[in-house]
Amino acid sequence: MNVKLNDNVLVITGKYAGKQGKVIATSPKSGKVTVEGINIQHKAQKARRGNEVSKIVEREGAIDASNVMVVCPACDKAVRVKSGEKDGKRVRVCPKCGAVLDKAYAGKKGKEVKKEEPKKRTRKRAAKAAAADKAE
């Protein structure tokens, strides 16, 4: 399955063909994905407490992963995913423009990531004493 969580996808078949959305859930064993705003289903939800009201809830249903294509963020086209290699790791690549589709590797491009140093911890007593000295 070439579709991952938070991918932008285009539905290519069925009732919602031509619509785009973000993947909010995947189930690789069954080969299905849940896309935001696609395959809306109505479900009756029963009241569980005395002060609650029964209602009909709309939620997204799962669709087969073969019915969607990943949209490349660089060229903004629906593509069949090609596998490539970057820094010794296997990544998903757009065959049209060559952009990396995996978000972990897409933004790095050889830049070093700066790590933020933790803030210095000060004791409360020392902070109170310093504030008292300034007030005088």
pTM equals 0.67
Q: Is the pLDDT score of 33 beyond 70?
A: yes
Q: How far apart are alpha carbons 36 and 123 in whole angstroms? A: 48
**What CA–CA distances, in Å, run from 98 to 3, 10, 46, 103?**
17, 19, 50, 14
**What CA–CA distances, in Å, run from 59 to 3, 32, 64, 126?**
20, 16, 16, 54
Q: Model confidence over 85-126: pLDDT tens digits?
A: 888 888 888 888 888 888 776 555 444 445 667 677 666 776
Walk me through the domains of the chain, giving residue ranges and CATH numbers: 1-71 (2.30.30.30), 80-108 (no CATH)
Which residues have C-beta within 8 Å of that of residue 5, sequence separation ≥ 6? 23, 24, 25, 26
Which pLDDT belongs to residue 2? 86
